[in-house]
Amino acid sequence: MERYDVVIVGAGPGGSGAALEAAKRGLRVLMLEKRQEIGSPKRCGEGLSKNAAKRIGIEPNPMWIRREIKGATCYAPNGTFVRIDYKDSPEGWVIERKLFDKYLAGMAVKAGARIMSKTEVVGLLREDWIISGVELESNGRKWKVRAPIVIAADGVESMLAREAGLDTTLKLPDVASGVQFEMTGIDIDPDRIELYFGNDVAPGGYVWIFPKDENTANVGIGVRRPYSSKPAIDYLRDFIDKRPGLKKGSILEVNSGGVPVGGFMESMVTDNFMVVGDAAHQVNPIHGGGMAEAFVGGRLAGQVAAEAKNARDYSETFLSRYNDMWWKERGNMLKKVLKLRMVVEELRDDELDWLAENLKGEDMVEFSRAKGFRMLAKLLMNKPRLMGLTKKLM
């Protein structure tokens, strides 16, 4: 039976972050991907901010950049908008996800990791109840691989964490349902991303237009129950039908998927096992961005896997240092962002309009980084109905 120091399940950004870090630290790493092509089909708006790239630790690369983003416009239900003009343009990129994921996976391979695509992990291997590897299936062939640590980076539909005994249940409001059309032949601002808010437009979420070239963009939506009353795709179609500049376009690709926007896990480890990325709900709960979050979660788990090997200790107690590191580096900040989401979701459309009239572009950027809440609380104090919400921000 083949043996590795760590087996990583899933070759998205979370898996690649873990594989890169563990391989860099000298571990024998195997990363398994059930799809025949890493990164495809995408389930992503393909928005990557400069900050997110910095957190991943990569320089912008023409291989995966489709469009530089110079600004953003956020629309309230009545059409009032807040413009964000980035001083140090570009502030981010719309990327080609199927190339980006391959690029990250390639970095892990350069560091020494091995990847097998079209190879599905069908279950955890246990010896005397202890996780000791995985069972695989590819092209009708089944076999087993041994490793003292398994890192599950198997995305939002993760089965492995549950199989390992972790509670990955998400409450209804903590899952956004996302649908996206990559459209071409449409009228867009090719240099800016556009975001549309409102309880009729996208209850519990927003619509995004992320440009990929002069007349091509990812046009997508995320909505959440109990705020939404029909499927996400119906809201997206309504949005497009009302805009002739979009309605005239053609759809190149349809993508859909769930996004965990909350429900952070206190513990993401058990004996011989760690979970990262979407599978561990490591996503920014206000905008649903998860590529960099997954990569960072993976990187931390990869580091702890190497430390566990050195200490010859794969116990839950030892691995829980991954929990501590993630909560310190990302979790506490994301938890604050979650509070903001809980305030925004209480607002009526007329209150969103009022907020848009009173906010500046810079405020919106601050909020997504869990800053500026004091200023928002002060603003909410002006409306008697919203005063109570300020408590949620503190």
Catalog residues that contact ligand FAD under the rule CB under 6 A.
9-15, 32-35, 43-47, 120-121, 153-155, 178, 180, 220, 255, 257, 259, 277-279, 283, 288-291, 294
CB of 151 to ligand FAD, least distance (A): 11
Is the Cβ of residue 32 or residue 334 nearer to ligand FAD in the bound state?
Answer: 32
Nearest residue to ligand FAD, by Cβ distance, number only: 290
CB of 180 to ligand FAD, least distance (A): 5
CB of 26 to ligand FAD, least distance (A): 23
Q: Half-sphere exposure of 171 toward its Cβ, with a 13 Å CA cutoff?
A: 7
Q: What are phi and psi of 126, to 5 degrees?
A: -130, 140
Question: Are residues 314 and 6 in contact, defined by beta-carbon separation less than 8 angstroms?
Answer: no
CB of 15 to ligand FAD, least distance (A): 6
CB of 288 to ligand FAD, least distance (A): 6
Is the Cβ of residue 25 or residue 42 nearer to ligand FAD in the bound state?
Answer: 42
- Separation of alpha carbons 140 and 115, rounded Å: 19
Is the Cβ of residue 105 or residue 246 nearer to ligand FAD in the bound state?
Answer: 105
Is the Cβ of residue 246 or residue 294 nearer to ligand FAD in the bound state?
Answer: 294
Is the Cβ of residue 80 or residue 270 nearer to ligand FAD in the bound state?
Answer: 270
